[in-house]
């Protein structure tokens, strides 16, 4: 055989070996993907179903990979643009369709098992079990971290998502900003944050001859965003608006994406460089750039001697406590922690309060007797004074009752979820490690067993003597969560609700608009009106 023939023969053999190696690697990779898919998508869910079935826990049929998601979405989409607004005990089918679908199929049951994609979820509407899970055994439960890292990038892997010692450190760092003494100093800023929209509404009402129909949704979000900027980020309002709008746009696109079958069947589907995915990445990078500019601006001002401190707002307090470095995996509170919590508060800190206020205004418009009572109280406590202080707010008992009843009917976060980090034996149930427990807040808030026969009615009087007298179980009211990980900004939110609504009641009568389409929905797991909140304002 000639040297050339030897060379060709060797080349052919080497090509064969290379192709065989490539084929082997591809086969191994595909086998690993299939194994992981079957393990997470089939074996584990069926194991949970067997364990819970032995305890008498019922539920809809298991469906590989997608679970009940498409059934839930189809059911939710079956409702018209305007759903009836005559009962506050309908299990909120356009918000939590899983409760409206499955609780009626298992009458008398306080829990059922269903599947959110590959995730097995035990839905619980028993506040005693919720107490055991979220309070007594909170150390054995962790928040569910999104499998898609893009989602954590969007909302920030801050105090909301961290667990263990990392959560303890972040909570300890952020909590002082929301203590009573700190909140007292925010009242003036909250009042200032309402001024622009209040003047706008007064002008529109005057131009309308004494009344005007106004879509309150964008304006109330502006107020809430301005208040957040003034109290937490020293008035950088325009940046806050841009960040929030980008977050909202990305969240909307993300939730469209998860309704595609490819999201559930194709590993790392969101990493496929489609035009939409590239656009979402670009928007997320803009958010990072805006917040990094804000953070670095504070850091440089102190380093260059242009400022004596980082400031006394939330950002300043975080920067003062932060160590150097941007590694978010480290346990310490560092600059990555600052960035992540800025994202979280820009989104959740604005959305939860603004939407609660919108539904509170709707309830006052629909229930004029309670509107009159609330207005009379505001005039007696605040009068025509522009100045408002914490002492005045503490005397707005009727306004607080209306706020709490609104939160019962339209809880900002309709569900709470935790995953067991170890096998857990409760009084009534055994929870295997890895199973997700979903506390059905909307279902519990609408359960006559805990709230009485008038649970379907809007009745703030139930809170006249506080939450403990309003319901038969202390954990049956959970608009801001339960246990050590309840919402750190709950007192901030209640104060903002009182200030905004009381200032509206001093100037206007709220009337329901015939153009309002009642259709509560969710975005990033937070309740919101799908078609805005038009309300008629009439000058007093």
8 — pLDDT class (breaks 50, 70, 90): low
Stretch 100-105: mean pLDDT: 95
Share of the chain above pLDDT 90, in %: 57
What is the average per-residue pLDDT within 83-95? 91
How would you classify the pairing of strands 526-529 and 508-512?
unpaired
Is the confidence at residue 236, as pLDDT, over 90? no
CB 483 within 8 A of CB 134: yes
pLDDT at 494: 95
Whether the Cβ atoms of residue 383 and residue 389 lie closer than 8 Å to each other: no
State the chain's mean pLDDT as an integer.
89
Of 356 and 487, which is predicted with more confidence? 356
pLDDT single digits (tens) 490-531: 999 999 999 999 999 999 999 999 999 999 999 878 899 999
Distance CA 535, CA 540 (A): 15
Q: Of the segments 29-33, 142-146, 178-182, 405-409, which one has the largest average pLDDT value?
A: 405-409
Question: What integer pLDDT is reported at residue 15 of this predicted model?
Answer: 66
Question: Could you give the angle at the alpha carbon of 290 between the alpha carbons of 287 and 293, nearest 5°?
Answer: 145
Binding residues: 487
Instruction: Assign 248 a pLDDT band (cuts: 50, 70, 90).
Output: confident
- Amino acid 17: pLDDT: 60
Question: What sign results for the dihedral spanned by CA atoms 391, 174, 414, 53?
Answer: negative
Predicted local confidence at residue 5, as pLDDT: 54
Q: What mean pLDDT is predicted for residues 186-202?
A: 93
Report the pLDDT value the prediction gives residue 325, as an integer from 0 to 100: 84
pLDDT digits over 368-392, tens only?
999 999 999 999 999 876 778 888 9
More confident residue, 112 or 265: 112
> Which neighbouring-strand residues pair with 111?
124
pLDDT, tens digit (0-9, with 9 covering 90-100), for 107-118: 989 999 999 988
In the prediction, which pLDDT does 199 show? 96
Q: What is the spatial distance between Cα 11 and Cα 223, in angstroms, rounded to a whole number?
A: 72
What's the pLDDT score for residue 41?
A: 80
- For 273, phi then psi, to 5°, come to -75, 60
- Residue pointed to by tokens 């939160």: 407
User: For 22-40, how does the pLDDT look when each residue is reduced to its tens digit (9 = 90+)?
Assistant: 665 667 666 666 667 677 8
84 pLDDT exceeds 60? yes
Give the single-character DSSP code of 41.
I
> Which H helix or E strand runs over 340?
helix 335-366
pLDDT of 406 > 70? The answer is yes
pLDDT score of 395 more than 90 = yes
Note whether 517 and 81 are within 8 A (CB): yes
**Stretch 439-444: mean pLDDT:** 96
Average pLDDT value for residue range 294-322: 90
pLDDT of residue 446: 96
Residues in the chain: 540
- Would the pLDDT of 262 be above 70? yes
Mean pLDDT of 281-285: 89
pLDDT value at 12 more than 70: no
CB 470 within 8 A of CB 451: yes
The region of weakest confidence among 62-66, 245-249, 269-273 is: 269-273
- Residue 532 has phi, psi (to 5 degrees) of 80, -175
Would you say residue 3 has pLDDT above 60?
no
Please give the annotated binding residues for heme, written as ranges: 487
* pLDDT over 70 at 224, yes or no: yes
Average pLDDT over residues 133-149: 80
Paired tokens of 380 = 């007696």
Residue 302 pLDDT more than 80?
yes
Q: Kindly state the percentage of the chain with pLDDT values over 70.
A: 92
Question: 213-227, 242-256, 261-275, 475-489: lowest mean pLDDT where?
Answer: 261-275
């Amino acid at each position: 055989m000639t040297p050339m023939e030897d060379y060709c023969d060797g080349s052919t053999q080497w090509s064969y070996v290379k192709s065989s190696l490539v084929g082997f690697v591809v086969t191994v990779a595909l086998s690993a993907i299939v194994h992981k898919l079957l393990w997470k998508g089939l074996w584990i869910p069926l194991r949970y179903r067997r364990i819970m079935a032995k305890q008498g826990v019922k539920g809809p049929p298991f469906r590989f990979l997608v679970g009940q998601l498409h059934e839930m979405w189809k059911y939710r989409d079956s409702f018209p643009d305007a759903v009836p607004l005559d009962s506050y005990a309908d299990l909120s089918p356009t918000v939590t369709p899983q409760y409206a679908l499955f609780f009626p199929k298992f009458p008398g049951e306080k829990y059922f098992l269903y599947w959110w994609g590959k995730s097995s979820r035990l839905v619980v509407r028993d506040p005693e079990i919720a107490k055991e899970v979220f309070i007594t055994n909170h150390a054995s439960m962790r928040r569910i971290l999104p499998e898609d890292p893009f989602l954590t990038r969007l909302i920030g892997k801050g105090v909301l998502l961290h667990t263990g010692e990392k959560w303890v450190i972040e909570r300890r760092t952020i909590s002082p900003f929301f203590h009573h003494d700190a909140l007292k100093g925010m009242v003036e800023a909250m009042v200032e944050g309402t001024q622009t929209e209040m003047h706008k509404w007064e002008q529109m009402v005057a131009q309308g001859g004494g009344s005007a129909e106004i879509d309150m949704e964008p304006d109330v979000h502006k107020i809430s965003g301005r208040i957040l900027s003034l109290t937490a980020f020293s008035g950088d309002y325009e940046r806050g608006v841009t960040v929030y709008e980008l977050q909202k746009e990305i969240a909307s696109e993300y939730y469209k994406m998860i309704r595609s079958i490819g999201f559930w069947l194709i590993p790392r589907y969101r990493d496929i460089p489609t035009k939409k995915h590239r656009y979402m990445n670009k928007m997320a990078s803009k958010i990072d750039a805006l917040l990094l500019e804000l953070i670095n601006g504070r850091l440089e001002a102190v380093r260059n001697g242009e400022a004596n401190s980082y400031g006394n707002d939330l950002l300043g307090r975080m920067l003062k406590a932060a160590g150097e470095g941007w590694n978010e995996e480290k346990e310490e509170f560092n600059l990555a922690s600052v960035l992540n919590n800025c994202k979280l508060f820009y989104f959740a800190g604005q959305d939860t309060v603004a939407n609660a206020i919108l539904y509170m205004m709707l309830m006052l418009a629909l229930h004029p007797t309670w509107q009159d009572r609330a207005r009379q109280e505001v005039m007696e406590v605040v009068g025509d004074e522009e100045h408002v202080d914490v002492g005045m707010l503490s005397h707005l008992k009727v306004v607080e009752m209306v706020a709490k009843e609104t939160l019962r009917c339209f809880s900002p976060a309709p569900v709470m979820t935790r995953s067991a980090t170890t096998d857990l034996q409760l009084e009534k149930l055994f929870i295997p490690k890895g199973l997700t427990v979903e506390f059905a807040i909307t279902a519990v808030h609408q359960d006559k067993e805990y709230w009485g026969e008038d649970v379907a009615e809007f009745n703030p009087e139930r809170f006249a003597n506080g939450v403990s007298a309003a319901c038969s179980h202390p954990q049956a009211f959970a608009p801001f969560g339960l246990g050590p990980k309840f919402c750190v900004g709950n007192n901030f939110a209640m104060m903002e609700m009182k200030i905004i609504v009381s200032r509206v009641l001093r100037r206007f009568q709220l009337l329901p608009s015939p153009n309002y389409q009642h259709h509560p929905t969710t975005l990033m797991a937070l309740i919101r009106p799908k078609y805005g909140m038009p309300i008629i304002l009439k000058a007093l």
